[in-house]
Every structure is written in structure tokens, then in C-alpha cells.
Amino acid sequence: MPRPSRWNEIIEAAAEAFRTNGYAATSLEDIASAVGMWKGSLYHYIDSKEDLLFAVVRGPAEEILNQLRELSDTDLPPTEKIRRATRSHVQILNSNFVYASVYLQEIAGRRKLPEWTAMDREYLNLLESIVREGVDSGEFSAVTNPRVATLALIGSLNWLTHWYRPGGSLHADEIADQFCDLFLGGLITRKTKAPRSQTVTPLKTTKPRAKRTA
């Protein structure tokens, strides 16, 4: 029976523990016992506890940013860009749920390491640029500050880690579309319909996890 790479087991155990108890409240013994080894043996794979945190978090953080970069390079109409960016964000949150939750709880906000804040800022700026495109083309209303609108959307998306669970009754794509309908069309009833998206041509699909050889 070919056992999967031990490194993946360690990262998954670390991610699960970090998400439920938080990084600081998780001991290396928690992680070690979850994978069935002594805490000292973890140091055959890592140099410090923080290595585990960064390894957990790096994959989805880079993936979500890269997908938005690719999308920004297209010349789809802003409405469609917003819809695809939202779908991409939700899908990565869905398929990397534990890892992404750890990122949002432990990296975004607290630790001010320049590497991560630069990624956060670039993501925000790319999304805001899409909103600005829509305002400039007249497609979006100009009453709302583009940066505030962007931060509102990001907040809604990232708050998913507080209530969404993969495999629940609501599919990831449904939630993404609901968010889009809300942000694009608003709550209030209108006669002129907000354009709903048709069949989706996915930009790319990427796969769960990272690698490592000690």
C-alpha cells in the first residue's frame, strides 16, 4: 500500500490544527501526534514552527493571486470580469478551504511580513482596477467609491470562511453567482435586469497542494 508523502500529512494536520485552534495555540505535539510521530521528529521536515504556517498558506495565496492576474490581462467586459474573479475566489476558498482559512486568520491582519502584504495589496489593486474600468466605461455607477466597493466585495468573499463549509448544501458556484447578482444588481427590485452570466469558459483549473523534499 503506497502511503502518500508524509510531508502532505504533516501539512494537512498542521492546517487543520491551525484553523481550529489558531497558530499560537497549536503545539508541535498536537501536529506530531496527529500524524503519529514524536514532535522532535518534525524537525526532519522543518526548521521552525513558522515553516509549517508558511507551507500551509503559500499554495492558495499564490494561486488566487495568479488567477486574478490572468483575468486582468483579458479584455472581457468589467461585469464579466467581476463575475469570474468572484467565482475564482470562491472556488479556491472551496477547494483549499482549510489552507485559505489559516491564511485569512493568521496572515491577513496580524503578521505584517512584507511578502504577504504585497500580495494582499496587489490583489486588492487588481480588483479595484476592474471596478474602475466599469466606472470609466459607464457600465458601473460612479456613486460608490471604487476602493470601498472592492473592499466590500473582498470582505464578503473572505467572510465565507466563517460560515461556508465545503460539501454543504450550497455549491461554491451558486454562492459566487449570488454574490455577483448582489454586488452588480443590488437588493432593490429594478425593471432593467442585471446581466446574468451564461455558460462559463474556465480560464484554468489548478490542483490542491504543494510539494517539498526536506
Residues that bind a second copy (CB under 8 A): 20-22, 24-25, 79, 82, 105, 108-110, 131, 134, 138-141, 143-145, 148-149, 151-163, 170, 175, 178-179, 181-192, 194-195
Rule CB under 7 A: choose which of 27, 125, 141, 145 binds DNA: 27
- Closest approach, Cβ 65 to a second copy, in A, equals 17
- Closest approach, Cβ 201 to a second copy, in A, equals 22
Please tell me the distance from the alpha carbon of residue 65 to that of residue 119, in angstroms, as a whole number. 7
Please tell me the distance from the alpha carbon of residue 58 to that of residue 35, in angstroms, as a whole number. 21
Q: Does 22 bind DNA (CB under 7 A)?
A: no
Cell of 67: 488567477
Nearer to DNA, 21 or 178 (CB): 21
Half-sphere CA count of 151, side-chain side, radius 13 A: 6
- Closest approach, Cβ 32 to DNA, in A, equals 7
- Closest approach, Cβ 123 to a second copy, in A, equals 12
Burial 54-87 (b: 16+ CB within 10 A, else e): bbbbbbbbebbbebbeebbeeeeebbbbbbbbbb
Q: What is the amino acid identity at position 160?
A: L
Nearer to DNA, 37 or 210 (CB): 37
Please tell me the distance from the alpha carbon of residue 134 to that of residue 141, in angstroms, as a whole number. 8
Q: Does 38 bind DNA (CB under 7 A)?
A: yes
Q: Does 33 bind DNA (CB under 7 A)?
A: no
- Closest approach, Cβ 43 to a second copy, in A, equals 21
Contact of residue 175 among a second copy, DNA, none (CB under 5-8 Å per partner type): a second copy
- DSSP conformation class of 199: S
Please tell me the distance from the alpha carbon of residue 100 to that of residue 65, in angstroms, as a whole number. 12
Q: Does 214 bind DNA (CB under 7 A)?
A: yes
In degrees and rounded to multiples of 5, residue 202 shows phi and psi of: -65, 140
The contact set with DNA (CB under 7 A) reads 6, 26-29, 36-45, 47-50, 214
